[in-house]
Amino acid sequence: MSSIGTGYDLSVTTFSPDGRVFQIEYAAKAVDNSGTVVGIKCKNGIVMGVEKLIASKMMLPGSNRRIHSVHRHSGMAVAGLAADGRQIVARAKAEATNYESVYGEPIPVKELAERVASYVHLCTLYWWLRPFGCGIILGGYDREGPQLYMVEPSGISYRYFGAAIGKGKQAAKTEIEKLKLSEMTCREGIIEIAKIIYKVHDEAKDKAFELEMSWICDESNRKHEKVPEELLEEAKAAAKAALEEMDAD
């Protein structure tokens, strides 16, 4: 999968002989180097969780937000280069408020995902722009119910039941596939996501991490917000307990 595209990887406007654009693939590698981001669509909403690797002990807990609200009813979790992510979030917010001021209703999640994806794709078309080095998991709750989308640095966007990006994405995807998402409520989803993130966190390579989670569900009045403190603590405790059980085997 990884190959050095000597000569064909200098610009995002160059194809290689076997039809690949290497710059975009390198951008995807930037995403793979960041902490895991997981999102699932439950029966009554969306839950997203981020494994925030703590770069320095000097950082205050709660800083370095990785999950952002895009509008009342939707939010996105960002993996990869944080500064690039900020740009995409700002653009998504602008798109959402613009849609609402023109059409009078909150932007449908599908529409928002398309707009974000085209914006990301835009930066892969010109040699004087570099692709965004971040992957986005976008969750929202509109008239069609809860929806989860993932946008990659290439500009591809698909709708998912469960998605994961970042370091532990392979392991996380395997875990998600084990879950019965169509019967799960968001409360249960929170515990499951916490368990997954704790599980895929690599103790050897990265020391400490902070878990950040958000949800959009009927319980939160279909608003995107951080998971309430008590639920978060409950989830963390359950995840740690599950880990210990596994280690005990």
Partner 1 sequence: MSVSLSDASIYRFLWVYPALQESVERMKPVGKHSLGASGEISDFQEILRYLDELILYDNMWDDGNSLGPKEVHNYLTRVMYNRRNKFNPLWNSLVLGGVKNGQKYLGMVSMIGVHFEDNHVATGFGNHLARPILRDEWHENLSFEDGVKLLEKCMRVLLYRDRSAVNKLQIAKITEEGVTISQPYALKTFWNFAAFQNPTVGAEGSWKVTITGDSLSLPPSPTMGDSSSTVIDYGNRLDI
CB closer to partner 1, 23 vs 74:
74
Smallest distance, partner 1 to C-beta of residue 223, A:
9
CB closer to partner 1, 169 vs 224:
224
Smallest distance, partner 1 to C-beta of residue 212, A:
11
> Is 36 among the catalytic positions?
yes
Residue pair 77/48 in contact by the 8 Å Cβ criterion: yes
CB closer to partner 1, 13 vs 98:
98
Written as six digits, the tokens of 82 are: 């944080």
Q: Which of 36, 124, 174, 185 is flagged as catalytic?
A: 36
Smallest distance, partner 1 to C-beta of residue 24, A:
30
Beta bridge partners of 193: none
DSSP-assigned letters across all residues of the chain? -----TTTSS-TT---TTS--HHHHHHHHHHHTS--EEEEEETTEEEEEEEEE---TTSPTT-S--EEEEETTEEEEEEE-HHHHHHHHHHHHHHHHHHHHHHSSPPPHHHHHHHHHHHHHHTTS-TTSPPP-EEEEEEEEETTEEEEEEE-TTS-EEEESEEEESTTHHHHHHHHHHS-GGG--HHHHHHHHHHHHHHH--TTT---EEEEEEEEEGGGTT--EEPPHHHHHHHHHHHHHHHHHHHH-
Smallest distance, partner 1 to C-beta of residue 35, A:
20
Smallest distance, partner 1 to C-beta of residue 71, A:
7
CB closer to partner 1, 84 vs 212:
212
CB closer to partner 1, 68 vs 169:
68
Which residues form the interface with partner 1 (CB under 8 A)? 65, 68-72, 93, 97, 101, 225-226
The owner of tokens 């939010």 is 75
Residues with catalytic function = 36
